[in-house]
Structure 1
């Protein structure tokens, strides 16, 4: 064996044992403190020296991959969500619902689409093929765009941690999200909702929804100490959200709940309550059953502060003040009737025992109000769109509407301007008068 030394700690030598040239380059230090040396080999000395020089360039530029086999995309996404994203949720810089959405998009699209590729071997054409498949399956462009943003953010962190040399997601142009069409209630329909809601317990909940344009979670998380009925101002500082349960056990298939065992049948009692049943065997990483895991974590109803401009002050319309005062009086009577069963959360809208209202129950109440009032079907969130539309039609400046609703950009508020038909019709009439008298 004859040895030759290259620059620094690199070495190139010929091995008589296998008749090949070998090159070694020290690129750093391993986690255990030992030198991280990389190997290159070939039949020709010149070829091996070229490989050594290329590896040295990568080392000097800080672009060498970490030691060991690179993880698959599925493995890296799982690690990224369970560590970096989970930490951001813990320190409040990421909303728990955002991480829930990440997990859902990964399970439904990213894992099946590109999960088996090694993260350092992922190419732009792999992403193009996945997005094309999603669009052919009639998924919305908004869903594809969200999926693209998730993999792009994950690869950005992978690049920062030397798992990949570049973020291939930046080489792909994702589809633009289509503008979501809003379908608010008109003024007559809104008044019919208020009339029907006024006959019900917690009817003021829907007066607040249509007058203030609160999101569902903001309305259900509203607390009395943040309402100043004398000054006519409310602080939208908290929201109620239902988070998805996560398994606390190491192996979901061996979960103490029992029904994660392989070979379980969709007809068994444990799966009777699941909408889509359960395949046999239950797929690895299945989240549908985490809610029955004895060690489940992170789910259920929680209160949390909204982010950014969503935390805001909102003026209360004068006619709404006596409605809220009457509602508070009825709630105090319910509290006395409940006695020791009352759970104090200081909620403006709650159950008869003071506990928070489940968003699902709230949704069912809204649907029942619409049906009883003889009004077309609409989403709970359409109440927020109704508030924005009525404000615009009443001549309120879009900038003011943006502040009241807590929009992060004027673009979101401008969605209501094209439905303000009353103003548009008035403008057309004025133009007609100006031109033709």
Structure 2
């Protein structure tokens, strides 16, 4: 081992060789004190020597926030997050964080630096002109908080200064949904659209757009009218369309109506005909909703058609994602237990469902009161 471990009273100290200084030619050593056990000291020195061998070692006191964020992106975010999440982190770091906070040494970063950064981004944070939204700045705060939390865990800094900073408050946007009559109008107008089965599935299941477009035939239990959510389609910059696990990372099951199953069987029959006609040119990915040649449906193409259908229907515009909210709202208004709705949506806890759909609860409270009055009259 290119280092040593010594006991000093009740703690352990380490010293290891950093190699020669390129300027002076003298051998450089690093010392660190205060390890509670010999095992902790051995683990630390082995990690540092391994980093030196790989060329990824750096002095915590000297590294800038810019250098650390590059290191964090490559060694933590890239292998541990979805590709799109990594791209978002990369965008925020390179276009926003590094130009303003990058030159500051990570050991010298103070809460005031972050508070001033948030204020600056709110007033003049856009690349062209104008300020970023409070929600966008809050995303920056979450990224910084996570990156610095890892820096503390890796013993690069003593504390996470982001803990002492208050991110900007965000205004809760009122949810936009359709009622049951509006849903009927939309589905009726979209009947002739090639994407009608997708809209029908989204409204009937509450699945996210990527989950619907990633649905496979192997994920459908036709005998029991159950759809399993096991993968999601996503569009990644410089990569194209790829598949990933659902947002929750877990498979979930959704019971569906016989009428939806009937519609899906029609698609299956049509796909068999397409396979026979196209032959070897058919790209069989087992997708329920696919182009005529079997390839995944382009989300942007479907989005344009969705907008067109909403305009034709004369309904107030809601996003495609709001079909998911519409699904949940209609069920809750019909008295379906929030736990069931939570499971259909794939929320990790029922609390998320209750917080998201608080706008429905007052009506449910009124109906509950009226039902109770009828029971005790």
**Number of the residue aligned with 2:51:** none
Match of 1:321 among 228, 251, 261: 261
1:195-344, aligned counterparts within 5 Å? 195-245=188-238, 299-308=239-248, 310-344=250-284
Residue 140, structure 1, aligned to residue 80, structure 2: no
Residue 60, structure 1, aligned to residue 37, structure 2: no
**Number of the residue aligned with 1:122:** 109
Cα offset, 1:331, TM superposition: 2.5
Higher relative contact order (CA 8 A, sep 6+): 1
Cα offset, 1:37, TM superposition: 4.2
**CA deviation profile, 1:64-94 (whole Å, cap 9, x unmatched):** x964872221221112111222222xxxxx2
Normalised TM-score (structure 2): 0.79
Are residues 421 and 183 of structure 1, via their aligned partners in 2, closer, same or farther at CA, if it must alter by over 3 Å? farther
**Number of the residue aligned with 2:73:** 81
Normalised TM-score (structure 1): 0.69
Match of 2:181 among 177, 188, 191: 188
Are residues 371 and 66 of structure 1, via their aligned partners in 2, closer, same or farther at CA, if it must alter by over 3 Å? closer
**Number of the residue aligned with 1:392:** 332
Higher helix share goes to which structure? Answer: 2
Distance 1:78 1:125 in 2: 22
**Number of the residue aligned with 1:261:** none
1:30 counterpart SS class: strand
Distance 1:70 1:32 in 2: 17
Q: How many residues align?
A: 336
Residue 111, structure 1, aligned to residue 52, structure 2: no
- Contact 1:220-1:240 within 8 A present in 2 as well: yes
1:35-46, aligned counterparts within 5 Å? 36-37=28-29
**CA deviation profile, 1:30-88 (whole Å, cap 9, x unmatched):** 344997547xxxxxxxxxxxxxxxxx8x733689x964872221221112111222222
**Number of the residue aligned with 2:9:** none
Distance 2:296 2:360 in 1: 34
Cα offset, 1:211, TM superposition: 0.6
**Number of the residue aligned with 2:319:** 379
Root-mean-square deviation (CA, aligned residues, Å) is 3.1
